[in-house]
Chains A and B, each alone.
Chain A
Amino acid sequence: MSEFEDMYREVILDHYKNPRNYGSLEEPHAHAEGQNPLCGDEVAISVRFGGDGETIEDVRFEGRGCAISQAATSMLTDLVKGRKAADVATLPKEELLEEVGIQLTPIRLKCAILGLGVLKVALHRAKGTPLPDEWQGLDFA
């Protein structure tokens, strides 16, 4: 079995079949939905901040689509919990891709960062800050 397949089985499929922080939050402080029009992947993310209004106390996601898009979003929720909204709003995609861990083709790259894009939209919207250009263009609701 190849290293690629090992990673897919152990990491991607684990998160795909047992997504972390799956669901939604009632009255979230930040929320956004997005989809990748090329493949139909969909992700919705809700965030609740702690008492300081900055720390991500809870984050949940719902979605459907390929294993990469859903697994990467699941990993993302683990990655950002407990961090400051401002840090996550500027989180480089490389940090998430390192978690994903497998070599991705350009099309799959879009699947992998869909959740991160949606989260950034939610946070920038909640904080009233402009979304950086590189994150424009996904089909955000």
Chain B
Amino acid sequence: MTLYGPPPDRRAGIVSFNVEGIHPHDVAQFLDRDAIAIRAAHHCCQPLMRRLHVDATNRASFYLYNVPEEVDRLAAGVRHVIEVFA
């Protein structure tokens, strides 16, 4: 997995990432089936995507209403997608 963005001490509750070999739309669709909503693809910022040399990214955002259990579910969901595509 590749993470994008600043180091943890300067980071907001936003995590952009890619799973090697799996397009974000495929990652997002499987997470969606597990009732986890993330945003996937260009995020309306193609110039940044070009600068990062990626076609697209996944982006998980956390806020007041999220609980730690949901973070674990996201991690488990990503592991599950990797298994399916392996």
The majority secondary structure among interface residues of chain B is: helix
Task: Name the residue on A nearest B33 (C-beta).
Answer: A4
Size class of the contact patch on chain B:
10 to 19
Q: Output the least CB separation between A41 and chain B (Å).
A: 8
B26 pairs with A68, CB closer than 8 A? yes
Interface size of A by Cβ–Cβ distance < 8 Å? 19
- Residue pair B26, A67 in contact (C-beta under 8 Å): yes
Contacts of A138 in B (CB 8 A): none
Sample of 9 A–B contacts (CB below 8 Å): A4-B33, A13-B84, A39-B23, A40-B49, A66-B23, A67-B26, A105-B29, A107-B25, A111-B25
Q: Using CB atoms and an 8 Å cutoff, list the residues of chain A in contact with chain B.
A: 2, 4-5, 8-9, 13, 37-40, 64-68, 105, 107-108, 111
